[in-house]
Amino acid sequence: MDFLGDLAEEVLEAEEQGDKMYEIYTANSKTEKRLSNYISMRGDIKNKIDRLKFEPRKANGAHPLHGKLSEKWACWLGANIRVIYIINDKDRIITIIAVGSHKIY
């Protein structure tokens, strides 16, 4: 099955289980602009961001960060593109705080 078919299947499963998707926001206009630029360069990034809505702790190689970035999460969107985000389980919100290469850490 292709990626879109997998994503559609995940949506149906989540709806059947009564799971609500997370909403995704950016922390500021700079992050929003960078994310938008990456999405316009590579269409698959939009799909990877959408996967976070269902499994923010598993999708795209998600992993918790440590040290000064503790309580934040990161995942990969491409070979050298990472995203750092905060998960708010109570309100089901993901806030993207940085997008870029490993230099964002």
pLDDT at 43: 85
- Please report, rounded to a whole number, the percentage of residues in the chain having pLDDT higher than 70: 81
Inform me whether the pLDDT recorded for 1 exceeds 50.
no
Burial code (b: 16+ CB inside 10 Å, e: under 16) for 88-101 equals eeeeeebbbebbbe
Q: How far is CA 67 from the centre of its chain?
A: 21
pTM of the complete model beyond 0.85:
no
Q: Please give the full DSSP string across 49-74, using - where no structure is assigned.
A: HHHHTT-TTTGGG-EE--GGGTT-EE
Residue-wise pLDDT for 9-48, tens only, equals: 655 565 554 567 999 999 999 999 999 999 999 989 999 9
* Domain chopping of the chain, boundaries: 21-104
Fold of 21-104: YaeB-like fold (3.30.2310)
pLDDT at 5: 58
Residue-wise pLDDT for 64-105, tens only, equals: 999 999 999 999 998 899 999 999 999 999 999 999 987 776
